[in-house]
Amino acid sequence: MARGSTRPTSRDVAQAAGVSQAAVSLVLGDKWRGRVSEATARRVREAAEELGYRPNLAARNLRLGHTRTVLLVVPALTTEFFAGVYTGAARVAAQHGFGVVLYPSPEGVGPARDPFASAQAALDGVIASSMAADALTAIRGDQLPLVMLDSDPDGSLGAATVNLDIADGIRQVADHLLALGHRRFLHLAADVPSWTFEVRARELAARVGAVADTELRTARAPITIDGARAAAEAALSGPGPRPTALVCDDDKLAAGAYKAARRLGLRIPDDLSVTGLDDLALATALDPELTTVRLDAELFGERGMQALLAVLEGRAPDGGDIPVELVVRGSTGAPGHRRP
Amino acid sequence: MARGSTRPTSRDVAQAAGVSQAAVSLVLGDKWRGRVSEATARRVREAAEELGYRPNLAARNLRLGHTRTVLLVVPALTTEFFAGVYTGAARVAAQHGFGVVLYPSPEGVGPARDPFASAQAALDGVIASSMAADALTAIRGDQLPLVMLDSDPDGSLGAATVNLDIADGIRQVADHLLALGHRRFLHLAADVPSWTFEVRARELAARVGAVADTELRTARAPITIDGARAAAEAALSGPGPRPTALVCDDDKLAAGAYKAARRLGLRIPDDLSVTGLDDLALATALDPELTTVRLDAELFGERGMQALLAVLEGRAPDGGDIPVELVVRGSTGAPGHRRP
DNA sequence: CGGCGGACGTTATACGTACAACGTGATGGG
DNA sequence: CCCATCACGTTGTACGTATAACGTCCGCCG
C-alpha cells in the first residue's frame, strides 16, 4: 500500500525538472507568460505528470487565504428536491471556479453539531459507489485508500470492497415468483454499467433457467420513473404471450412499471406481478404496496466506513456480504386470475 | 459585513490571554495536562471564546498532514438509499473523529471531472436551507457570508435570502380547490419549524378564510410517508363532517395521505381531493397522479449560488422570488360525487 | 563602449498551526 | 550546599504553496 512513499510536492517536481520550486508554481498556476520559456514550462509539466504530482490543497488554501469552496447545508438527502438544488448550485459554482461540498444535516441524533468540523476536506480516503463510475478514474489518479461499495470483489481495482448480498436477494425474488407459478418473466434492468446490476441479471437468469418451460426476456431502462414506464410499456405490449412477472432492478423502476401497467389496463397483481429492490418509502406509497428486497443502507454505510478505517490502519477489512431480506407485499400473486 | 477585520488566529488568542501561541495550541488541543496550569488553561479558553476563535483548518491540515475527513462519492442524490448510506457512514466516522463530505457526481454534463478539486473545503461562504435549523447556530458562530434558502427575508439573521414564491403556489392551490367547489379543508402540515412552512399555513388560512362558509382544520405530521399516513388517517376519521380537500405541505406528505385514504376506503378524487407541493417523481408515480405545485429546484440552487457570489464580491444580491406553477392532475376534482 | 531593458528565472517570505526541544525558577533529597 | 526533579511554560521550526522582490545574461542602441 506504498506506506513509506509520501506524495510528491512541488519541490520534487522542481528537482526533477531542474528548476526552482517557484518556477513550478508559476507554470502550473498558469502565470508564467513572459517569465518562463516555453521549453522549461513543458519540462515542468512533464515532470509533474511523470511524478503524478497533485498540489496540496491545505497548503494552497493556507497560502491563498481562501478555498473557492462553498458549503451547501440541506435538511437531509431524502428528497430529489435538494438533489436539484445541489445540481444547480454546482453548475453555477463551477462556472466561477468554485466547488460545492454537501453537508446533509444528519437525521435523528446528529453526531456532528458543527458542520465545519466535517467539511475540512482534503482527503485521507475514499468510499465510492460502483455506480459513480466516471469519478473512479479521477479517484485512482490519487493514491488514496479506497473502498468500493457493491463492486466486483475480484475486479482489477485492487481496492477493498463492501457488498450487499444482492445475488441472494434476486434468488429469493425468483424463488418467490416461481413458487407462485410464474413461468414467463420480464426483467426490467437498469441501463447503467455497474457490477451490481450485472449480478442481478446473472442470478435471475440462472435461477429462472433452472426450471423447465420458463421464459425470460429483458428490457433496459434508465433509472427514472418515466424511463422505466416507457420501457415497460413497450416490452409488455410486444408480440407473443405477455409475461406474468416483472422483476425490476430497483423500486424506482418498479414505480415506472406501475404506470405502464395502468396505461395498458393491466391490474397488479392479477394480470402482472411486480417486484422491486431497495425498499424505499416509495415502495409502500404504491398501490398495491410493492414486494421488494430490503437493503440495509445504513449498515452498508457503516460497513463501508469501517472497511476504510481498517485500510487506513493497515488492518485487513473483514469481508462477508451484508444479508438482504425479501419483503412480500401486495404486488405479487399467482398468475392468470383474469383472462390470461 | 465586517470587511476589514480578519479572523482571529491562535496568536491573537495568545496575546489576549498573555501566553504564547504554543500554549494556546496545547490547551485547545487538549494536550496540556501537566504542562499548563489549570488557571492559565482557563484564561486561554476564555480568551478564545471571547474572540470567537476558530482554528484555521487549512493550516492544521497542512501541519498534521491529514484531515480526518473522508469523501463519499455517490451516483446522485435522487434516492433515499444513499441518504441512508451517508447517515450510517457519518455515524461511524463521527465515532472515530472523522467527518464525511459528500460529493454527488453531477448528473448530465458534470462540470467537475475531478471530485477532489471540489472537496478542498474550508469555507468562503455558506448556502443553507431554512429547514436545516440546528446547523444555523453553528453557522452563525463563524462570520462566513451566508445565503438562506426559503427563509424569512426580514429575519434577524441579517443574511441574504433567496426564496421560492411558495405563497403564490399555495394561493393557486387554494383558488383551484375553491373553484372546484370545495369548502371543507384539511391542511396536512409539516411538523418542522421553518419559515417556508409558516408561509404555507398563513397563505392558506388567508385565502380560504376570505370565502364564506369555509372551514379549515390542520393536522401536523413529520415529513415521512408513514407519519403523514397516521396523521391524515386520524384527522380524516375524526368527528364532524369530513373535509373534502386535503392540502399537503409537500408531495411526500401527500403520498402518506394516499395511503390513509386507501385504508379508510376513500377514493381520490371522488371522496377526497389531494394536493402536494414540490412535483417530485413521486407525484406521477401515485394513482391518480398528484395535483401539485412545481418548484424549480435547479433554478433555486443557481439563484442561491449567484446570491452568495454577489455577497462575496460586495454586491447586493438581486432579489425577487422565484415563480412557481400549479400542475393540475387527477387527484383533484369537484367534491361529493359519491355519498358525501 | 556604457548602459538599458527584455527574457528567464531564483531567493526569500508568509500563511496559521502543532509539537519537539529547550529554558527557568522553586523544591527537595543526599 | 549542589544537583536532580518538577511544574509551567516558551522558542523555534516545519508543513507546501504563491508571489513579491531580486538577480543575471544577452543583445542592441546611442
Minimum Cα–Cα distance from A148: chain B residue = B73
**Mean pLDDT along residues B78-104:** 61
Please tell me whether any atom of strand D lies within 7 Å of the Cβ of B77: no
Domain B67-122, CATH class in plain words: alpha beta
Interface contact A88-B297, CB threshold 8 A: yes
Chain A partners within 8 Å of B80 (Cβ): 77-78, 280-282, 297
Q: Rounded distance, CA B254 to CA B245, Å?
A: 12
**Mean pLDDT along residues B85-94:** 61
If we measure between CA atoms, which residue out of A303, A187, A193, A170 comes closest to residue A248?
A187
Minimum Cα–Cα distance from A282: chain B residue = B282
Q: Which fold is adopted by the domain A65-122?
A: Rossmann fold (3.40.50)
Interface contact B121-A69, CB threshold 8 A: yes
CATH 1.10.260 fits A10-55, yes or no: yes
Nucleotide nearest to A37 (CA to C1'): C8
Please tell me whether any atom of strand C lies within 7 Å of the Cβ of A117: no
How many angstroms is C1' of D25 away from CA of A17? 21
Contact positions of strand D to protein Cβ (< 7 A): 7-12, 14-20
Nucleotide nearest to B62 (CA to C1'): D15
Give the pLDDT of residue B340. 40
Chain B partners within 8 Å of A249 (Cβ): none
Chain B partners within 8 Å of A280 (Cβ): 79-81
Which one of B54, B56, B101 has the shortest CB-CB distance to A119?
B101
Interface contact B123-A81, CB threshold 8 A: no
Domain A125-340, CATH class in plain words: alpha beta
Q: Are A284 and A329 in contact (CB under 8 A)?
A: yes
Nine-digit cell string for B251: 408531495
Instruction: Give the closest-approach CA distance of A309 to chain B in angstroms.
Output: 9
| Common-topology check for domains B67-122 and B166-295 | yes
If we measure between CA atoms, which residue out of B2, B326, B299 comes closest to residue B162?
B299
Give the pLDDT of residue A110. 38
If we measure between CA atoms, which residue out of B262, B129, B257 comes closest to residue B193?
B129
**Mean pLDDT along residues B151-174:** 83
Strands B325-327 and B292-294 come out as antiparallel
Phi, psi of B187 (to 5 degrees): -100, 115
B187-223 pLDDT, tens digit each: 999 988 888 899 999 999 999 999 999 999 999 998 8
Mutation for testing the B interface, residue in A9, A10, A28, A57 having most B CBs under 10 Å: A57
Alpha helices in chain B (DSSP H): 10-17, 21-28, 38-51, 57-64, 80-95, 115-118, 133-141, 166-180, 195-209, 225-236, 251-264, 281-285, 297-312
How many angstroms is C1' of C11 away from CA of A19? 13
Chain B partners within 8 Å of A128 (Cβ): 72-73
Q: Tell whether the model's pLDDT for residue B125 goes beyond 70.
A: no
Residue B131 identity (one-letter amino acid): M
Lowest mean pLDDT among A20-29, B145-154, B269-278: B145-154
Chain A partners within 8 Å of B134 (Cβ): 105, 110, 113
Instruction: Give the closest-approach CA distance of A283 to chain B in angstroms.
Output: 10
Give the pLDDT of residue B158. 67
Q: Which residue is nearest to nucleotide C16 (CA to C1')?
A: B59
CB contact set of A28 (below 8 Å; sequence gap of 6+): A10, A44, A45, A48, A55
B14-57 pLDDT, tens digit each: 988 888 888 888 888 888 877 788 888 898 888 888 887 877 77
Give the pLDDT of residue A155. 64
Give the pLDDT of residue B110. 38
Which one of A69, A128, A192 has the shortest CB-CB distance to B123?
A69
Q: Are B72 and B102 in contact (CB under 8 A)?
A: yes
Which strand ranges, in their side-by-side order, compose the sheet holding A184-190? A215-221, A184-190, A245-248, A273-275
Domain spans of chain A?
10-55, 65-122, 125-340
In chain B, residues 18 through 77 whose Cβ sits under 7 angstroms from any atom of nucleic acid strand C = 21-22, 25-26, 28-29, 31, 53, 55-56, 59-60, 62-64
Chain B partners within 8 Å of A79 (Cβ): 252, 278, 280
Tens of pLDDT along chain A (340 residues) come to: 333 457 788 888 898 889 888 888 888 888 887 778 888 889 888 988 888 787 777 777 777 766 666 666 666 655 656 665 666 566 656 655 555 666 665 543 333 445 445 445 555 666 777 766 655 655 555 556 677 878 777 764 667 888 889 999 999 999 999 999 999 999 999 988 888 899 999 999 999 999 999 999 999 998 888 899 999 999 999 888 999 999 999 998 999 999 999 999 999 999 999 999 988 888 888 989 999 999 887 788 778 777 777 776 667 777 789 899 999 999 999 997 554 4
End-to-end, the C-alpha distance of chain B in Å comes to: 59
Minimum Cα–Cα distance from A305: chain B residue = B89
Q: Which helix (H) or strand (E) holds B293?
A: strand B292-294
Interface contact A300-B76, CB threshold 8 A: no
| Averaged pLDDT score across all residues of chain B | 80
Which one of A111, A149, A304 has the shortest CB-CB distance to B94?
A111
Q: Which long-range contacts (CB under 8 A, 24 or more apart) does B148-153 make?
A: B149/A85, B149/B300, B149/B304, B150/B194, B150/B195, B150/B196, B151/B194, B151/B195, B151/B196, B152/B195
Nucleotide nearest to B11 (CA to C1'): C16
If we measure between CA atoms, which residue out of B74, B70, B118 comes closest to residue B90?
B70
How many angstroms is C1' of C16 away from CA of B12? 11
Q: Give Dmax (Cα) for chain B.
A: 82
* Higher per-residue pLDDT: A78 or B303: B303
Q: Tell whether the model's pLDDT for residue B182 goes beyond 70.
A: yes
Chain A partners within 8 Å of B118 (Cβ): 69, 90, 99-101
Mutation for testing the A interface, residue in B3, B28, B118, B315 having most A CBs under 10 Å: B118
Domain B166-295, CATH class in plain words: alpha beta
Q: Rounded distance, CA A35 to CA A31, Å?
A: 8
Q: Tell whether the model's pLDDT for residue B156 goes beyond 60.
A: no
Instruction: Give the closest-approach CA distance of B209 to chain A in angstroms.
Output: 30
Q: Rounded distance, CA B306 to CA A70, Å?
A: 12
Q: Which helix (H) or strand (E) holds B73?
A: strand B69-74
Phi, psi of A272 (to 5 degrees): -150, 125
Contact positions of strand C to protein Cβ (< 7 A): 7-12, 14-20
